[in-house]
Amino acid sequence: MYALGIDLGTTFTAAATWRDGRAEIVPLGSRSAAIPSVVLLREDETFLTGEAANRRGLTEPHRVAREFKRRMGDTTPILLGGVPQSAEALTAQLLRSVVDQVVSREGGPPSAICVSHPANWGPYKADLMRQSVRMADPPGTVTYTTEPEAAAVSYAQQQRIEPGAIVAVYDLGGGTFDAAVLRKTGTGFEFLGQPEGIERLGGIDFDAAVFSHVRNALGGKLAELDEDDPAAVAAVARLREECVQAKEALSADTDTTIPVLLPNIVTEVRLTRTELEAMVRPVLYGSVEALKRALRSAGCTPEELHSVLLVGGSSRMPIVAQLVSSEFGRPVAVDAHPKHAVALGAAWLAGGASDEPADTVLATAAVAPAPVSAADVEEVAPVSPALPRATVTGVASVPGSSSGETTGPIGIPEAPASPDGAPAGVRPARRRMLVGAGLVLAAVLVASGVAYAQYGRDSDDEAAGGPTPAVNTSPAATPSPVPPADEQCTDEIKSNRRWACLTSAVISGGKLTLKYDAEYAGSKPDVNKGYHVHFYGSDGRNPPDHVMGSHVPKSQRGTYYYDDREPSVLSTDDHRFTSAIGNAKKVCVRIAIAGHGLVPDNNSTYRTGNCWPITRR
């Protein structure tokens, strides 16, 4: 006997089985365990689902339905070959095909099934999901859970979480964003406060932004195509797929090319991770804000969080872990297979609570205590060898946001012109698992560094002169001869093509005099048409550098002053400069480009300069 967990995603659907205290992902597809959430109606009025539907849909786009989870409850029918279909009916088709496949693979029906749905769905949509399940008429008892609950349950199998510990789940999938705060109980998890989410934020919005980048790069070539020409339609569908692949590749690589094979043009378009991140960053700020709201509603502070779980395929983008880590200062747990967590958790819930009514599933779920702790993750086998073990990473010196609310894909801007280069991103899953212990150790160090940095800023500003490098774990240390990290003009800063480093900052008689070294890669600094410097007041950490330019929306922008004078001594009593500096303890410098967007550094952050303590006389 086995139980079945199903995660019906906007873009991908996954299933996992549970038996004898072990949960295992079911390989539904030939290329990956998850299959595309795609349904196609053939001419003979039979349905195709998953990979086959996806493939055929390239050449029969009028017969295929994708991303219909976003259309749940929409009264406008989806036309497949002229036949109206509801999102619920299409979901039922997909569900039925998944169940059939698992039944035939396992040689019999499951005793129980647990189906997940977004936490921010109201009762109406959740009820439509139940209708879909009724239409699919699967065998066994069916219960329901929310996606973040299932993810938390799956995480608890891999990582020891003490009862009472609070975790936040940040689930960025293909179509929706969910944020939830849960507390571990003796037997499962309970929600704290209200889950939050953005219904229309996910990977497909990032795909659309990449496609739009390509469209712009091609001039009017896409618009010239004949929409009734099957060859053109198929070529555009392939181009869209290439855009998705390029986006995903940029989670591991720093730049990529998108092949364009259209009837009227054959070329390729280059895309860098920096460009992609510039497109997605504003809407990711919106997701971070949603998680903050979920925390507020739970009545807890970031410091109270055990960790933040990153779930969903789109959370593989390195910028996601960077933003979440820098914003909340808590360890971030990224599963080696963020897509699998929900299905595995649902399988655990189906297995452990098969006799329970849906609403009590979480409270009564039999979540076996995992014998794994953060410190000994490498030595102890996971509960089930089939479970990918989560790795815990912390990122300390990365851009984050403290303000700004964006509400979805509409806010995704075009990529700005930007230089190349960024560090290697996610490691392949296999390697990730092997180095798990090292990463966990790093997380412990980084987490303590973050805590200390906050301590220094809040209570010891005068003495510390700003935050201490993250690995310094001794808050009681006397002033060190080594300047704080933000004041150092490091080789890393100087490895950028353009950089600036302050060496002195004095305010005397209302006049501020700065000395700094700068490198402009041979060009002359120019505030109107070229590269130049931005100065701003800071404690070395706040406000963060990434808001100090026009590359962020106005509502999020900090106050900065720009200059292009040479030699590199600025002496001014300009009131604009005074207001940009305010009463800050330090002044910081960064390189900007014409139009005042900050230039990213080689690490895709904006560390092209340092900060310097201001001497006031």
Ligand X SMILES: Nc1ncnc2c1ncn2[C@@H]1O[C@H](COP(=O)(O)OP(=O)(O)OP(=O)(O)O)[C@@H](O)[C@H]1O
Q: Name every residue whose Cβ is closer than 8 Å to that of residue 60 and which is 6 or more positions away in sequence.
A: 40
User: Pick from Mg ion, ligand X, none: which does 92 bind, CB < 5 to 8 A by kind?
Assistant: none
User: Pick from Mg ion, ligand X, none: which does 247 bind, CB < 5 to 8 A by kind?
Assistant: ligand X
DSSP string of 276-302, one letter each residue: HHHHHHHHHHHHHHHHHHHHHHHT--G
CB of 239 to ligand X, least distance (A): 15
Taking CB atoms, the residue at the shortest distance from ligand X is: 203
User: Pick from Mg ion, ligand X, none: which does 339 bind, CB < 5 to 8 A by kind?
Assistant: ligand X
Per CB under 6 A, does 5 bind ligand X?
Answer: no
Per CB under 6 A, does 273 bind ligand X?
Answer: no
Q: Name every residue whose Cβ is closer than 8 Å to that of residue 203 and which is 6 or more positions away in sequence.
A: 11, 172, 173, 174, 175, 244, 247, 313, 314
Closer Cβ to Mg ion, 150 or 395, answer by number: 150
CB of 506 to ligand X, least distance (A): 47
Distance CA 206, CA 247 (A): 8
Q: Where are the beta strands (DSSP E) in 312-445?
A: 332-335, 390-393
Distance CA 404, CA 401 (A): 8
CB of 546 to ligand X, least distance (A): 21
CB of 9 to ligand X, least distance (A): 2
Among 50, 138, 174, 351, binds ligand X (CB under 6 A): 174
**Residue the block writes with tokens 């365990």:** 33
Taking CB atoms, the residue at the shortest distance from Mg ion is: 173
Q: Distance between alpha carbon 522 and the CA centroid of its chain, in Å?
A: 37
User: Pick from Mg ion, ligand X, none: which does 329 bind, CB < 5 to 8 A by kind?
Assistant: none
Alpha helices by DSSP H, 400-469: 429-434, 436-459, 461-464
Closer Cβ to ligand X, 308 or 505, answer by number: 308
Per CB under 6 A, does 208 bind ligand X?
Answer: no
CB of 82 to ligand X, least distance (A): 27
Cβ contact 39:94 at 8 Å: yes
Per CB under 6 A, does 600 bind ligand X?
Answer: no
End-to-end alpha carbon distance in the chain:
79
Instruction: Using CB under 6 A, count the residues that bind ligand X.
Output: 24
H or E element that contains 101: helix 87-106
Distance CA 597, CA 599 (A): 6
CB of 19 to Mg ion, least distance (A): 24
Closer Cβ to ligand X, 316 or 546, answer by number: 316
Distance CA 191, CA 151 (A): 13
Query: Shortest CA distance to 134 belongs to which of 87, 77, 74, 92?
Result: 92
Cβ contact 253:317 at 8 Å: no
Binding string, 67-86, against ligand X, x = CB under 6 A? Answer: --x-----------------
Per CB under 6 A, does 117 bind ligand X?
Answer: no
For Mg ion, the binding residues (CB under 5 A) are 9, 173
DSSP 8-state assignment for residue 609: B
Cβ contact 420:254 at 8 Å: yes
- Residue 499: phi and psi, rounded to 5, are -155, 165
Per CB under 6 A, does 244 bind ligand X?
Answer: yes
Binding string, 13-42, against ligand X, x = CB under 6 A? Answer: ---------------------x--x-----
Per CB under 6 A, does 247 bind ligand X?
Answer: yes
Per CB under 6 A, does 281 bind ligand X?
Answer: no
- Give residues 316-335 in contact with ligand X (rule: CB under 6 A): 316-317
User: Pick from ligand X, Mg ion, none: which does 313 bind, CB < 5 to 8 A by kind?
Assistant: ligand X
Distance CA 29, CA 55 (A): 13
Per CB under 6 A, does 197 bind ligand X?
Answer: no
CB of 317 to ligand X, least distance (A): 5
Query: Shortest CA distance to 247 belongs to which of 316, 194, 183, 170?
Result: 316
Distance CA 532, CA 525 (A): 5
Omega before 36 within 30 of 0, i.e. cis = no
Q: Which stretch binds ligand X (CB under 6 A): 8-16, 355-363, 466-474, 513-521?
A: 8-16
Q: Which stretch binds ligand X (CB under 6 A): 153-161, 184-192, 199-207, 415-423?
A: 199-207
CB of 24 to ligand X, least distance (A): 18
Per CB under 6 A, does 176 bind ligand X?
Answer: yes
Per CB under 6 A, does 345 bind ligand X?
Answer: no
Closer Cβ to ligand X, 202 or 345, answer by number: 202
Among 3, 6, 12, 222, binds ligand X (CB under 6 A): 12
Distance CA 29, CA 37 (A): 11
Tokens found for residue 385: 């060898």
CB of 64 to ligand X, least distance (A): 16
Per CB under 6 A, does 217 bind ligand X?
Answer: no
Distance CA 318, CA 249 (A): 11
Q: Which stretch binds ligand X (CB under 6 A): 119-127, 168-176, 276-284, 457-465?
A: 168-176
DSSP string of 120-161, one letter each residue: T--HHHHHHHHHHHHHH--SSEEEEEEHHHHHHHHHHHHS--
Q: Residue 479: is it exposed, middle or buried by C-beta count within 10 angstroms (0-12/13-18/19+)?
A: exposed
Per CB under 6 A, does 312 bind ligand X?
Answer: yes
User: Pick from ligand X, Mg ion, none: which does 202 bind, CB < 5 to 8 A by kind?
Assistant: ligand X
Closer Cβ to ligand X, 12 or 348, answer by number: 12
User: Pick from Mg ion, ligand X, none: which does 560 bind, CB < 5 to 8 A by kind?
Assistant: none
Closer Cβ to ligand X, 258 or 505, answer by number: 258
Among 88, 248, 327, 563, binds ligand X (CB under 6 A): 248
DSSP 8-state assignment for residue 6: E
Tokens found for residue 506: 């004095």
Q: Using alpha carbons only, what angle is made at residue 47 by residues 66 and 204, rounded to the nearest 5 degrees? A: 10
CB of 377 to ligand X, least distance (A): 23
Angle between helices 203-217 and 273-298 (to 10 degrees): 150
- How many CB atoms neighbour CB 575 within 10 A? 9
- Give residues 51-70 in contact with ligand X (rule: CB under 6 A): 69
Per CB under 6 A, does 314 bind ligand X?
Answer: yes
Per CB under 6 A, does 175 bind ligand X?
Answer: yes
Binding residues vs ligand X (CB under 6 A): 9-12, 34, 37, 69, 173-176, 202-204, 244, 247-248, 251, 312-314, 316-317, 339
